């Protein structure tokens, strides 16, 4: 049996497609797989030794020369995978993303899944890893989930270097006359730590710096993460880093990282991190894993560089956007696509029977309202939309048939897939449907104009994406927007930070709420990334650990074998 496009033999140590396999964990399945040397995976892509730098046996990075060449030659189809509003159990979006790429390979297409890197906060908190699941994973699972190729530490180091250079400037005379009473550039750490949200620095005397309020954001919410993922080259990265606004002077004018002379050194820390990482799927096909912004508090998509390189290497690039279509997909379509210079050729909306029943209080026919809201949103961009029903072992197949019929009534095709238990074989029907719809001619367009005010952009998002009524902007947020407009930042796209559990900013409003307003309590500037962050409801940019974090389950034995990841 072969896996299509690159003619790679099925090589995993375990055979997929049995319900009994569900008693195994994702980590069990990953650790029983027989991985191919990453050099073989790279050569299957047509990469030469000069295009690719191995990092051990099973992972590696594209060289800068390969990035530059591939970024200019992308002609493949782009498939965006998103989902309905998440439930605590998860809907398997990454699993479907990897499974779909494997399914496309099974039917003879060259396909690459382009996904985000996991962050340590969710891994040790509540969500777990981000490698997919079952027989649709990217490997090596333990490495990818734990530090991987060092991209996250590099991003944190670059972020905190700017923090240190800002502190040093304040301590050594404050030549730029930065106002320490205002909001200044924060610090970052890739871990849930609520105690670091608001802190005081500079205690202990004059030699310890200027005493002031400060705070931390989790690394996926760092503007450096967004900049890395939205930059198109090293020169673009360096320019964007220099555009970061670290605060304002006493004349209420912006002060930038370039004025602190920090962006050159920051870019030097990121020179390797901007190069996409190549790994492999459970079936030995290539995969690109790069960047890691959250979809609820950041823009939630892997890097533009990774997407462009994948489009230059494969017939089909399957990329995912974080959380539901109201979060990561909305940001991919309105923030990323204009910079990418194109939209997707098709959009896959992932749903599960269990999640729709959750939204409907146990009734699938009611919970389907959440699915329909996401469909209405996604159809407004132009490319065709298909629904992927991610099968679970306990599902009643009559429910699948009912959901397929309900989708057909509104003119949308839906298909059942089984990426967890069946790998690529379990996604062949989905792959065939994606090929069919991706070949349909379509025109992509955003849901707002770049010239619209921030308030008008927010209203467009609330009405067209969430199905809500209007926007309520706090006095603090209004003052933020007035300063942005005065200083030339008023026309930037808006990245909404809100709960993932509802299309509103209230996590208790499930399914398809109507008549609600979005409550914007603060707006922050990410000038280097090129967007404004509207912070809504009770969302935090630094999560905290719960009473029983998943860290309780994670361990390692005397031989270095890790357990407890999922």
pLDDT tens digits, 166-197:
999 999 999 999 999 989 999 999 999 999 99
The pLDDT of residue 2 is: 40
Per-residue pLDDT at 11 exceeds 50:
no
- Count how many Cα atoms sit within 13 Å of the Cα of residue 178 in the half-sphere of its side chain: 28
The pLDDT of residue 18 is: 43
Each residue's pLDDT tens digit, 223-255: 999 999 999 999 999 999 999 999 999 999 999
Alpha carbon 278 to its chain centroid, in Å, reads: 17
Each residue's pLDDT tens digit, 85-124: 999 878 899 999 999 999 999 999 999 999 999 999 989 9
Helix (H, G, I), strand (E, B) or coil at 385: strand
Each residue's pLDDT tens digit, 330-353: 999 999 999 999 999 999 999 999
Per-residue pLDDT at 399 exceeds 90:
yes
Q: Confidence class of residue 126 from pLDDT cuts 50, 70 and 90? A: confident
The residue written with tokens 């375990």 in the block is 14
Q: What is the spatial distance between Cα 502 and Cα 122, in angstroms, rounded to a whole number?
A: 19
Q: Which residues of 293-325 are buried (b: 16+ CB within 10 A; e: fewer)?
A: bbbbbbbbbbbbbbbbbbbbbbbbbbbbbbbbb
The pLDDT of residue 443 is: 94
- Region of 307 (left: φ > 0; alpha: ψ -120 to 50; beta: rest) is alpha
Tokens of 297: 């508090």
- Count how many Cα atoms sit within 13 Å of the Cα of residue 301 in the half-sphere of its side chain: 31
| Segment among 7-11, 309-313, 483-487 with least mean pLDDT | 7-11
Tokens of 263: 């962006």
Q: Within the chain, which residue ranges are assigned CATH 3.40.50.300?
A: 26-146+273-438
CATH topology of domain 151-269: Domain 2, N(10)-formyltetrahydrofolate synthetase (3.30.1510)
End-to-end CA, the chain:
28
pLDDT > 90 fraction of the chain, expressed in percent and rounded: 91
Helix (H, G, I), strand (E, B) or coil at 137: strand
Please, are residues 360 and 372 in contact by the beta-carbon 8 Å criterion? Answer: no
Q: Within the chain, which residue ranges are assigned CATH 3.30.1510.10?
A: 151-269
* 71 C-beta neighbours (distance < 10 Å), count: 19
Region 27-47: mean pLDDT is: 95
The pLDDT of residue 5 is: 54
CATH topology of domain 26-146+273-438: Rossmann fold (3.40.50)
Each residue's pLDDT tens digit, 405-454: 999 999 999 999 999 999 999 999 999 999 999 999 999 999 999 999 99
Q: Within the chain, which residue ranges are assigned CATH 3.10.410.10?
A: 454-536
Per-residue pLDDT at 14 exceeds 80:
no
Q: Confidence class of residue 42 from pLDDT cuts 50, 70 and 90? A: very high
CATH 3.30.1330.80 assigned to domain 454-536? The reply is: no
- Region of 284 (left: φ > 0; alpha: ψ -120 to 50; beta: rest) is left
């Amino acid at each position: 049996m072969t896996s299509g496009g690159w003619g790679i033999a099925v090589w995993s140590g375990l055979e997929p497609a049995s319900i009994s396999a569900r008693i195994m964990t994702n980590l069990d399945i990953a650790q029983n797989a027989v991985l191919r040397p990453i050099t073989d995976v790279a050569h299957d892509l047509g990469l030469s030794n000069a295009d690719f730098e191995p990092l051990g046996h099973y992972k590696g990075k594209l060289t800068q020369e390969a990035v530059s060449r591939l970024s200019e030659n992308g002609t493949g189809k782009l498939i965006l995978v998103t989902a309905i509003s998440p439930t605590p159990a998860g809907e398997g979006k990454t699993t479907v993303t990897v499974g779909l790429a494997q399914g496309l390979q099974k039917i003879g297409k060259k396909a690459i899944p382009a996904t985000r890197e996991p962050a340590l906060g969710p891994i040790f908190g509540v969500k777990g890893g981000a490698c997919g699941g079952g027989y649709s994973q990217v490997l090596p699972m333990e490495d990818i989930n734990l530090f991987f190729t060092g991209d996250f530490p590099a991003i944190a180091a670059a972020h905190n270097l700017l923090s240190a250079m800002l502190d040093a400037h304040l301590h050594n005379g404050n030549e730029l006359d930065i106002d320490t009473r205002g909001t200044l550039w924060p610090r970052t750490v890739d871990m849930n730590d609520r105690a670091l949200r608001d802190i005081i620095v500079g205690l202990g005397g004059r030699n310890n710096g200027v005493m002031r309020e400060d705070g931390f954001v989790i690394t996926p919410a760092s503007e450096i993460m967004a900049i890395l993922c939205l930059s198109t080259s090293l020169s673009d990265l360096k320019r964007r880093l220099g555009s970061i606004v670290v605060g304002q002077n006493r004349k209420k004018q912006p002060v930038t990282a370039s004025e602190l002379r920090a962006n050159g050194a920051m870019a030097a820390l990121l020179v390797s991190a901007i190069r996409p990482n190549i790994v492999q799927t459970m079936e030995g096909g290539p995969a690109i894993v790069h960047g890691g912004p959250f979809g609820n508090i950041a823009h939630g998509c892997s890097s533009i560089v990774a997407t462009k390189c994948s489009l230059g290497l494969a017939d089909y690039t399957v990329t995912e956007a974080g959380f539901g279509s109201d979060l990561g997909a909305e940001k991919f379509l309105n923030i990323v696509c204009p910079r990418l210079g194109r939209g997707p050729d098709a959009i896959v909306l992932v749903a599960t029977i269990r999640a729709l029943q959750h939204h409907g209080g146990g009734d699938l026919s009611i919970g389907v309202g959440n699915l329909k809201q996401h469909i209405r949103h996604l159809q407004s961009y132009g490319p065709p939309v298909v629904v992927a029903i991610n099968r679970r072992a306990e599902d009643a197949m009559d429910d699948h048939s009912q959901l397929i019929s309900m989708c057909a009534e509104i003119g949308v095709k839906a298909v059942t897939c089984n990426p967890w238990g069946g790998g690529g074989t379990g996604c062949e029907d989905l792959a065939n449907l994606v090929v069919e719809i991706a070949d349909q001619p379509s025109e992509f367009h955003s849901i707002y104009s770049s010239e619209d005010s921030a308030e008008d952009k927010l209203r467009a998002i609330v009405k067209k994406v969430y199905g809500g009524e209007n926007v309520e902007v706090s006095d603090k947020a209004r003052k933020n927007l007035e300063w942005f407009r005065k200083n030339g930042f008023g026309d930037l796209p808006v990245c909404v930070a809100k709960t993932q559990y509802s299309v509103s900013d209230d996590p208790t409003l499930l399914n398809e709420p109507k008549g609600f307003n979005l409550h914007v309590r603060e707006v922050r500037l990410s000038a280097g990334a090129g967007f404004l962050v509207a912070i809504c409801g009770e969302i935090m940019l630094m999560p905290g650990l719960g009473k029983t974090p998943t860290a309780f389950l994670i361990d390692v034995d005397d031989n270095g074998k890790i357990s407890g990841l999922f």
